Amino acid sequence: MQHISLVKLAHQAIKEKLRPEDIAIDATLGNGLDTVFLAEQVGSSGRVYGFDIQRTAVEAVALKLASWRCLTLIHASHAEMDKEIPVQDHGNIRACMFNLGYLPGGDKRIITQAESTLTALTIASRILVDNGVLTILAYPGHLGGELETLQVTNWCEQLDRQQFKAEMVSCGQNQASAPRLFVINKMG
Ligand SMILES: C[S@@+](CC[C@H](N)C(=O)[O-])C[C@H]1O[C@@H](n2cnc3c(N)ncnc32)[C@H](O)[C@@H]1O
pTM above 0.85, yes or no: yes
Q: Is the CB of 58 under 6 A from ligand 1?
A: no
Residue 188's pLDDT band (boundaries 50, 70, 90)? confident
Q: Is the CB of 46 under 6 A from ligand 1?
A: no
Report how far residue 52's alpha carbon sits from residue 60's, in angstroms, rounded to the nearest whole number.
11
Q: Is the CB of 117 under 6 A from ligand 1?
A: no
Report, as an integer, the average pLDDT of 70-89. Answer: 98
Which architecture characterizes domain 2-186 according to CATH?
A: 3-Layer(aba) Sandwich (3.40)
Q: Is the CB of 135 under 6 A from ligand 1?
A: no
Q: Is the CB of 28 under 6 A from ligand 1?
A: yes
Residue 66 has a pLDDT of: 94
Percent of the chain at pLDDT > 90 equals: 89
Whose C-alpha lies nearest to ligand 1, atom 5?
30
Residue 176 has a pLDDT of: 85
For residue 65, give the amino acid letter: L
- Write out 125-144 in H/E/C secondary structure: HHHEEEEEEEEEEECCCCCC
Q: pLDDT tens digit string along 27-79?
A: 999 999 999 999 999 999 999 999 999 999 999 999 999 999 999 999 999 99
Distance 142 CA to ligand 1 centre (A): 14
Q: Which of 1, 3, 165, 2 is nearest to 99 (CA)?
A: 3
Report how far residue 152's alpha carbon sits from residue 99's, in angstroms, rounded to the nearest whole number.
12
Report how far residue 14's alpha carbon sits from residue 122's, in angstroms, rounded to the nearest whole number.
19
Q: Which of 172, 120, 115, 112 is nearest to 143 (CA)?
A: 112
